[in-house]
Chains A and B, each alone.
Chain A
Amino acid sequence: MAKYLLLKHYRGAPASVNDVPMDRWTPEEVSAHMQYMRDFAARLEETGEFVDSQALSPEGTFVRYDGEGRPPVTDGPFAETKDLIAGWMVIDVESYERALELAGELSAAPGAGGKPIHEWLELRPFLTACPTITE
């Protein structure tokens, strides 16, 4: 099994095909979208492929060390062009092909007009611990 991160972006990813902000959908379309996401996670739990899923607030700050005895420096929020992560799902699957398949399914979540969003999701493999037998 291999773990993958499915990353969803508020911005920074290429524009989706059905690109309408959520507050411009109808309330029923919003509900349908939420239901699709819940069903998707539930299905992965059943197949034993679900690990974790979290959503992030769009408000974040960059922080860095500023030297001994000084408080950390903060920066941001940044301009609209900056990449902004919205949330993730971690899956544990048999193959890269399966991970692609699931990412495709998630990207098909319905949006405005009840049509698939075709949202771009970022698929990132986890680096694993060193296997016992390497030679």
Chain B
Amino acid sequence: MDETLLRRLTPAVIGILVRRGADFAAAEDAVQDSLVEAVRVWPGSPSQDPKGWLVTVAWRKFLDAARADTSRRHREVRVEVEPVPGPGEAVDDTLQLYFLCAHPSLTPASAVALTLRAVGGLTTRQIAQAYLVPEATMAQRISRAKRTISGVRFNQPGDVATVLRVLYLVFNEGYSGDVDLADEAIRLTRQLAVKTYHEEVAGLLALMLLHHARRPARTAPDGRLVPLAEQDRSLWNTRLIAEGVDVLQTALTRDRLGEFQAQAAIAALHADAQTAEETDWVQIVEWYDELVRLTDSPVARLNRAVAVGEADGPRAGLAALAGLDPALPRHAAAAAYLHERDGDPVTAARLYAEAARSAPSLPERDHLTRQAARLNARLRR
């Protein structure tokens, strides 16, 4: 049975139930139940019309739940819940679901969880595993999120930017489990790009594709982090790169630049270099200038300083770094790198060790410790 197909149908089926009169929270629960049922039943007797099957089963589940709920609340008054004749079921509500699940009243973690369940069709258990929390905790997070947005009209137009932030988080902060969240984020962004054309949706999709293309080269077989300059570029996925570049170029021709397009452009320039030495750092710095202009983000300034160090030499990079807050994440690592290139291994080794102490992840800490060790070993000789 094709689980991806099932998952792809999820938002459309929820949309149909909502149009028939179910409220979002109940519709979402009913569709989850129907997915579980499909996983159980389909291997034996696959459906010829998966979507129709899901709609029928989900609607029945919804009615059962509504009746149980109604009889609980009004034991004396028996209210029959009948299907509300809705508009044609050809209407696709997937886009509305993206907006709803990324509603600004939700915290980022709640929006991520709800999006993965209602738009992505993942089970609560899969989402819990992916974020390393107990299933009960994730179930609570999702039902609280549903309560938070219970007053929001389903067809209320939303802001694509909030949806993009949620998808970016899924891509960038996914952890583990049997679901590949990077793949899932790409699938959801691709689907969003089909439903609505927006330059930044394309920009984010391109950014994800270009980064995902490098994933096979990013970690050594022993789990070590391999920095961009040292990656075996023959491991990069050229098909994903070509697609990313294509998506990005189409977006850029529309001349409505945004931060994701700028980030994707930087990733594309890296992807374009056959060797690290061939990297067009001058253009990369120009894109960082755009990114800083668009976001005014200190993190973008920090990355820009490293790029300046490559384009105009380490002294220029250190000068660009000088104005930035040393408490910025990865500031010490960037400074260490630039000092080493500037021929000061003593300062670089000290800064690498400092960076390792404040590293936010184990692979980064190990990598930075190894850098400090490498310089110290050289200094002992």
A interface residues, Cβ below 8 angstroms from B: 21-27, 29-31, 34-35, 38, 55, 57-59
Give the distance to chain A from B346, nearest Cβ to Cβ, in Å: 13
**CB within 8 Å of A: which of B333-381?**
349, 352-353, 356-360, 362, 365-366, 369-370, 372-374, 376-377
A23-B353, A58-B357, A59-B358 known; A31 vs B222 contact (CB < 8 Å) = yes
A38 to B362, CA, bound (A): 12
Cβ contact of A24, chosen from B352, B359, B370, B373, cutoff 8 A: B373
Asked if B87 is at the interface of the complex by the 8 Å CB criterion, the answer is no
A23-B373, A26-B373, A27-B374 known; A34 vs B223 contact (CB < 8 Å) = yes
A115 to B206, CA, bound (A): 47
Q: Which residues of B contact A21 (CB under 8 A)?
A: 353
Q: Which residues of A contact B360 (CB under 8 A)?
A: 57
Whether the pair B222, A22 counts as a contact (CB closer than 8 A) is no
B interface residues, Cβ below 8 angstroms from A: 222-224, 349, 352-353, 356-360, 362, 365-366, 369-370, 372-374, 376-377
Whether the pair B223, A27 counts as a contact (CB closer than 8 A) is no
Whether the pair B377, A26 counts as a contact (CB closer than 8 A) is yes
A35-B222, A59-B358 known; A30 vs B376 contact (CB < 8 Å) = no
A23-B352, A23-B373, A24-B373 known; A30 vs B366 contact (CB < 8 Å) = yes
Cβ contact of A30, chosen from B223, B358, B359, B370, cutoff 8 A: B370
Q: Which residue of B lies closest to A112 (CB)?
A: B373
Give the distance to chain B from A112, nearest Cβ to Cβ, in Å: 10
Q: Which residues of A contact B222 (CB under 8 A)?
A: 31, 34-35, 38
Q: Which residues of B contact A57 (CB under 8 A)?
A: 358-360
Q: Which residues of B contact A59 (CB under 8 A)?
A: 357-358
Whether the pair A22, B369 counts as a contact (CB closer than 8 A) is yes
Q: Which residue of A lies closest to B377 (CB)?
A: A26
A57 to B112, CA, bound (A): 26
A35 to B360, CA, bound (A): 20
Q: Which residues of A contact B352 (CB under 8 A)?
A: 23
Whether the pair B358, A22 counts as a contact (CB closer than 8 A) is no
Give the distance to chain B from A9, nearest Cβ to Cβ, in Å: 15
A24 to B359, CA, bound (A): 18
Whether the pair B366, A23 counts as a contact (CB closer than 8 A) is no
A22 to B359, CA, bound (A): 15
Whether the pair B358, A31 counts as a contact (CB closer than 8 A) is no
Cβ contact of B372, chosen from A23, A38, A55, cutoff 8 A: A23
Q: Which residue of B lies closest to A21 (CB)?
A: B353
Whether the pair A34, B366 counts as a contact (CB closer than 8 A) is yes
Q: List 17 A-B contacts (CB under 8 A).
A: A21-B353, A22-B369, A22-B373, A23-B353, A26-B373, A27-B370, A27-B373, A30-B370, A30-B373, A34-B224, A34-B366, A35-B222, A38-B223, A55-B362, A55-B365, A57-B359, A59-B358
Whether the pair A25, B358 counts as a contact (CB closer than 8 A) is no
Whether the pair B376, A23 counts as a contact (CB closer than 8 A) is yes
10 A-B pairs with least C-beta separation: A23-B372, A23-B353, A27-B370, A27-B374, A27-B373, A26-B377, A30-B370, A25-B373, A30-B373, A22-B369
Give the distance to chain B from A39, nearest Cβ to Cβ, in Å: 10
Q: Which residues of B contact A23 (CB under 8 A)?
A: 349, 352-353, 356, 369, 372-373, 376
Whether the pair A29, B373 counts as a contact (CB closer than 8 A) is yes
Whether the pair B224, A31 counts as a contact (CB closer than 8 A) is yes
A22 to B366, CA, bound (A): 10
Given A21-B353, A23-B369, A34-B366, 5 more pairs with CB closer than 8 A: A24-B373, A31-B370, A34-B222, A34-B223, A57-B359
Q: Which residues of A contact B372 (CB under 8 A)?
A: 23
A55 to B377, CA, bound (A): 26
Q: Which residues of A contact B374 (CB under 8 A)?
A: 26-27
Q: Which residues of A contact B373 (CB under 8 A)?
A: 22-27, 29-30
Q: Which residues of B contact A58 (CB under 8 A)?
A: 357
Q: Which residues of B contact A27 (CB under 8 A)?
A: 370, 373-374, 377
Q: Which residues of A contact B377 (CB under 8 A)?
A: 26-27
Q: Which residues of A contact B358 (CB under 8 A)?
A: 57, 59
Q: Which residues of B contact A29 (CB under 8 A)?
A: 373
Give the distance to chain B from A51, nearest Cβ to Cβ, in Å: 13
Q: Which residues of B contact A35 (CB under 8 A)?
A: 222
Give the distance to chain B from A15, nearest Cβ to Cβ, in Å: 19
Q: Which residue of B lies closest to A87 (CB)?
A: B362
